[in-house]
Amino acid sequence: MAVVRALEERGGVGTGIGSAAPAVILVLALALRILAATAPDPTFYPDEVFQVLEQAHRLAFNYGFTPWEFEWGARNWALPGAVGGLLWALDAVGLGRPEAYQPIVTGAAILMSLTLVASVRRLASALAGAEAGLIAALAVALSPACVYAAQKITPEVWGGYALVGALALSLESSRREAILAGVLAGVAVGLRVHYAPALIAPFWMVLRGPGGWRAALAPTLAGAVTVAAFGALDWLTWGAPFASSVNLVWYNLGLGVADFFGRQGPSVYVIALGVSGPLAVVAALQWRSAWPPLACAALVVGVHLGIGHKEPRFIFAAHPLIAAAFAVAAVRMASVTRVMLAGMVAASIAVLAWDAASPEAGQRGQRYRDANAAFRIARLDSDFKALALAWTGVYNTPAYYGLHLDAPLLDFPLIGVQPAIPAGVTHVLADRDFPALLDFVPVRDFPTAQLRKRIVISPDAPTPEATRRLPLRFDPQRGLVNLRRTPEQPADPGR
């Protein structure tokens, strides 16, 4: 309730909007997102690195791992290209090292995430007034899903920002904002085609406006041109318009790539909604007022329910949309607004606190942080020539985006065996409980890993050959194949 009272004192909830309240919420959102970025991420997923950051590094510095999607034209280059351009510019001004560019890239992502707070405020305000806008902004500022997503640059997240922005602007009456809504809708589709059905809601809002179908022409054209730009980028990089979307759909559905990762039931998304689930139920009670964002969220979730392989990150856009719908419902149900708002705040804070206190919650994120720190130590060692990974594998590391040396990074499937590590390998990153390795001694311990160094380093030892292809390979005849799997390993490649 402290947050609610603070807003009230500034002319917020229950008393009309005050000039300071939106700024207070933005500062709160920024603080939470910065704190989350300094701790292990409980929602970390390797695609954040290998589908965007690693490809950006490869583009800017001409070396890095290539996942199968970028071998077979199943990803658009828009996001990696944008981040790659930033890395190139940072390198040009002397900031081309991980200690400099990693916090800058993360900081840029966090700043971009604040646009989501502004978008939901604008969306809810247009539907139910300034008070609803404040509640929506507060809900997104505190939303665990939105807090953790802030440091990520992925199609699901940034496409979600564009989708919410498109819906918010579609409620405005000016031609310029309608055109911008069309552009954002095109960005949402270009980044994640699965969000396309959700655009029915903003398109319908424009049609319902004073200009009718004539008013919808300009934003529709703007959206089409934007989508065409993504198609042109595919043409430039993969040789055919929209090749990445067509290939991805064919590989997943026609060649069974999605089934490689298993098929899950609807409960995955019920659990993934977390705090947003009860908020959606409240919003549904005021469907007549809250339907635009709620319908949009339902379409996001509904489309992904129809896909066998399910992951919480796929429905990210539903969280801010539900927050906006909840805010609209809350002000319509004035008698229980305070109770609902207090419950939302308490639930969000409880989830964030639990994740911060639970070692298991951020285990994968901790592995990534440990690998990033170990890579820095190895890179700065004058004896460094090559690094072997004797643990859960390259997928839980920052790869060359973190190592930033054009040197071998070897991925070993070392499960209960004594590996034959090439003589040219100077450093090994192993699990904390991995058995002692002949000729290597520990040099630094981390919560989940241990960096080891070769005792005697021969300057004449040949540098080992290493592939820049990842263990998960695509074959048109067999689909996906995990080359790292051994009889002792589980089926999940840690991807």
> For residue 404, what are the CA distances in angstroms to 44, 240, 376, 423?
21, 32, 9, 22
- Over 90: is that where the pLDDT of 14 sits? no
Q: pTM for the complete prediction?
A: 0.91
Neighbours of 221 (CB within 10 A): 13
Lowest mean pLDDT segment, chosen from 205-209, 400-404, 449-453: 205-209
Q: What is the pLDDT of residue 205?
A: 74
pLDDT at residue 201 tops 50: yes
Q: What is the overall mean pLDDT for the chain?
A: 88
pLDDT band at residue 16 under the 50/70/90 scheme: very low
Position 23 pLDDT exceeds 70: yes
Q: Look at residue 431 and tell me whether its pLDDT is greater than 60.
A: yes
The two structure tokens encoding residue 286: 């005021």
Residue 493: pLDDT above 50?
Answer: no
Please report which confidence band the pLDDT of residue 418 belongs to, taking 50, 70 and 90 as the band edges.
low
Sign of the alpha-carbon torsion through 368, 370, 376, 378: negative
What phi and psi values does residue 422 have, to the nearest 5 degrees?
Answer: -55, 150
**pLDDT at residue 458 is higher than 50:** yes
225-252 pLDDT per residue, tens: 999 999 999 999 999 999 999 999 888 8
* In contact, 386 and 407? CB cutoff 8 Å: yes
**Does residue 91 surpass a pLDDT of 70?**
yes
Sequence-ordered alpha helix ranges (H) in 171-274? 175-191, 200-207, 212-238, 243-249, 257-260, 267-273
Smallest Cα–Cα separation from 106: which of 123, 121, 90? 90
479 torsion bin: left (phi>0), alpha (psi -120 to 50), beta (else):
left
Buried b / exposed e over 455-494, threshold 16 CB at 10 Å, is: eebeeebeebebeeebbbbbeeeebbebebbeeebeeebb
